[in-house]
Amino acid sequence: MAIPSLSLLFLFTSLPLVSSSPVKDPELVVQDLHRAINVSRRNLKYLSCATGNPIDDCWRCDPNWEKNRRRLADCAIGFGKNAIGGRDGKLYVVTDSNDDDPVNPKPGTLRHAVIQDEPLWIFVTNIIIHGLHIHDCKQGGNAMVRDSPWHYGWRTTSDGDGVSIFGGSHIWVDHNSLSNCKDGLIDAIYGSTAITISNNHMTHHDKVMLLGHSDSYMKDKNMQVTIAFNHFGKGLIQRMPRCRRGYFHVVNNDYTHWEMYAIGGSANPTINSQGNRFTAPNDIFSKEVTKHEDAPESEWKNWNWRSEGDLMVNGAFFTRSGAGASSSYAKASSLGARPSSHVASITTNAGALNCKKGSRC
């Protein structure tokens, strides 16, 4: 993970593992989310920047944003809305980019921050990953790695993901710039759920996003992920995302490049695509947005995949499937989609932000 600038406070926070709460029934989650979003919009109207992006309108237009950085934790949307991160803990200022000692990390490094037990940033549940440039990640491991102030142990080789969510819940990945990693840019596997991936800018990568471990791993059937307000940009090939078994809401994203496909999946996932803009690339690249992987048409034609209000540009097309059961799509709905004509303005500031004190972020 590269950290090119230390001028920002990287508030990478989480609650202690012992505070983990069970994931609610999907139907109740959807109802709670819609109620909370409506309340939040009414309460935060005085801050509205009128960008159409409810996350950014919640906090970025406050000129005193740096004096209340914890406010960000109350601005999540989608299935990861309840990820409060380290909102109630201390701020940790990253002052040292030298993270090369996995057993005895120095205070001031990001590696030292993430092994602490108090509410700071990154453990397994209630996680917010915000404001980072993540690129050129390599495989690592087969080494001793510290995971708390009192324990370190042997870790086998990693895949080389930019962000790897392994059995985690209540996760929010927002306003990061990701590119050129060994495996995935963002992967969520082994029963991870209640996740929102929003406002990120992704470029120059092959297998962008994997959601679900394998076709045979049944615990991923309850996975719920919101993918909203992201810009899938230059040099991307496939998996934006690639889904397995669970419920996936792909809403108000801007797709400006793919070489194989944009949205794909296997093992009967429910995919609810709403209000996105799909601009098919020129030349020999595929115009089809979707790919029903690893199954004959006789099987995938029953998977519930819908496109509602999406804008198809330059010959792009979405292959729908399934009978469209309302109960299935209810579990794959996490927020109201804006019209696809608003996508350009909603995603204008996708990626890591260049925030400066004394002015709107």
Alpha helices (H) along the chain: 26-43, 54-59, 110-114, 297-300, 326-330, 343-346
71 noted as active-site residue: no
Angle among Cα 204, 182, 83 to the nearest 5 degrees reads 85
Please answer whether residues 67 and 78 qualify as being in contact, where contact means their C-beta atoms are separated by less than 8 angstroms: no
Residue with tokens 């794909």: 264
Specify burial of residue 64 (Cβ count, 10 A radius: 0-12, 13-18, 19+).
exposed
β-strand 151-155 against 254-255: which pairing, if any? unpaired
Residue with tokens 């006789």: 298
- The DSSP string of 128-145 is EEES-EEE------SEEE
Please answer whether residues 232 and 208 qualify as being in contact, where contact means their C-beta atoms are separated by less than 8 angstroms: yes
The DSSP code for 288 is B
* 227 phi, psi to nearest 5 deg: -115, 105
Q: How many CB atoms lie within 10 A of CB 260?
A: 15
- Residue among 60, 239, 244, 338 flagged as catalytic: 239
The two tokens of residue 221 are: 């059937």
Q: What share of the chain is helix, strand, coil (3-state, %, to 5)?
A: 20, 25, 55
Active-site residue list? 239
